[in-house]
Amino acid sequence: MTGNLTLLAIPLALLYLAAAGCIYRILLSYRTAQGAIAWIIALIGLPYLAVPLFLLFGRHRFGGYVKARRMGNRALTSLLDRFESQSTSIPHPGQEAFNNDLQVLSRLGRQPFTGGNHCTLLRDGEAAFEALFNAMENATHYILLEFYIVRSDRVGQRIKSILERKLAQGVQVWFLYDDIGSVALSRRWRKELSEAGARMASFGNGNIRRRRFQINFRNHRKLLICDGRVGFVGGINLGDEYLGTAMDQEPWRDTHCRVEGPAVTGLQLAWLEDWNWASAVKPELDWSPVSEPPGDEEVLILPTGPADTWETCTLFFLNCINNAHTRIWVASPYFVPDFQVMNALQLAALRGVDVRIMIPEKSDSRLIGLAAYSYLVQACQAGVGIYRYQPGFMHQKIILVDNRYAAIGTANMDNRSMRLNFEISAINTSQRFINQVDTMLTEDFGSARLMTESDYRDRSVAFRLGCRAVRLLAPLL
């Protein structure tokens, strides 16, 4: 009997020792007192559940990426210094507004605004894929890809076919994908493309020891760069659903952006830093300034992620909201803001700013759809308009601030984007581009339903309790 108790005591002691180690990590690095207290209570009361959950979900800093960034910091810093010194960079524009909130965005992203760019708004999957395919077909030196979701469906097969053909022509292909987002990507697809000569890397699997079994810290970026001269960024991944043509699928509403000019260097720098984490093989890329700028638009590339010194994505949203004078329009498929962002939205509405949040009527996540309802009363009472897009699933991620700038990228208004995922946005101050985004969003709002308090208050008690309960899970959604 004593021997059995001893055998039981040893694993129990080890379990509580592991829980104590987790609590130590929490006390050193917690973001909010509420989250820290919740984890500590769970680790003390239910260590057999909380310890493995903390190992999977608990940490909010991507330590392995930080170490990789430091190891490659000298080369990357040198490239960034060269980028900032290009004649197209705009470190100190003359506009007063630029020197304030836009300069903050530049510092957050550690990149300069550049002039001489031209951006093309791609308003659906069909337009985006046509532009992506054409850019790859016209590449002559190299193609860099980085996507959260890659599928081996019709779109995926078309991509692979183009890349194999370009590889046969001597064009280099470097392909980075997220191992969780692309979990359904077939091994055969990857094997055939790799055997054709493409360099492929998974964002997570290549550094599993440094990740320490974390399934957070997803690479949610969607990038394509061809020859360092043409780049793409936005909400569209590589899959048939983004065309909205899959069987029994709702229409899909998404937006992507084609970038030409010096700002492509910013996209390339973000890609290289991610590749530096995922693979030890470094490509030789073109970093020379664009000799003939294709346009006159000022663009900033803003990468954000959990390896940054600050919570850059949260600060990005707060900066946009707090500095809006007349309007801030946001399109995001996932609306689960933390208290800072929600308070900022309320304050903006109370000072007379036209605050509109567009989310899909039909979400691809039941939990996130329920959580969004829990913010409705707070929003409506302050004058924040929450609109539900009706024709199908809306997946675009866009911010329009006054008539001063528009941002298109990958960041959602939720905890995962703000604190856990690697995201990226292109911020454009051109009046031409802003007008196009204005027109596009105005049409989208015309296809959306403005919600009222009754959408929440008139529902059953069970529904409202469910919404509030799911909201407690916001940090994990």
Buried b / exposed e along 415-429 (16+ C-beta atoms within 10 A): bbbbbbbbbbbbbbb
Nearest to 38 by CA among 56, 22, 21: 22
Q: Evaluate if residue 1 carries a pLDDT over 60.
A: no
Mean pLDDT of the region 278-285 = 85
Question: Residue 206 — pLDDT band, cuts 50, 70, 90?
Answer: very low
Residues 162/243/429/441 CA torsion (nearest 10 deg) = 170
Judged by DSSP in three states, 216 sits in coil
Q: What are phi and psi of 450, to 5 degrees?
A: -75, 125
Stated pTM of the model:
0.86
Tens digit of each residue's pLDDT (9 = 90 or more) over 366-417: 778 788 888 888 899 999 999 999 988 999 999 999 999 999 999 999 988 9
Return the minimum-mean-pLDDT range out of 136-140, 437-441, 449-453: 449-453
Give the per-residue pLDDT at 71.
Answer: 47
Give the per-residue pLDDT at 280.
Answer: 76
Both structure tokens of 84? 């900032």
The structural architecture, per CATH, of the domain 312-476 is 2-Layer Sandwich (3.30)
Give percent of the chain above pLDDT 70: 84
Q: Evaluate if residue 449 carries a pLDDT over 90.
A: yes
Return the minimum-mean-pLDDT range out of 25-39, 101-115, 215-229: 25-39
- Catalytically annotated residues: 220, 222, 227, 395, 397, 402
Q: What residue ranges do the domains of the chain occupy?
A: 9-24+32-58, 63-106+113-299, 312-476
Q: Which comes out higher in pLDDT, residue 40 or 335?
A: 335
Question: Residue 74 — pLDDT band, cuts 50, 70, 90?
Answer: low
Tens digit of each residue's pLDDT (9 = 90 or more) over 226-264: 999 999 999 999 999 888 765 556 788 999 999 999 999
Tens digit of each residue's pLDDT (9 = 90 or more) over 90-122: 655 455 545 678 888 988 888 889 999 999 999
Q: Evaluate if residue 57 carries a pLDDT over 70.
A: no
What is the average pLDDT value for the chain, to the nearest integer? 85
Domain 63-106+113-299 is in which class? alpha beta
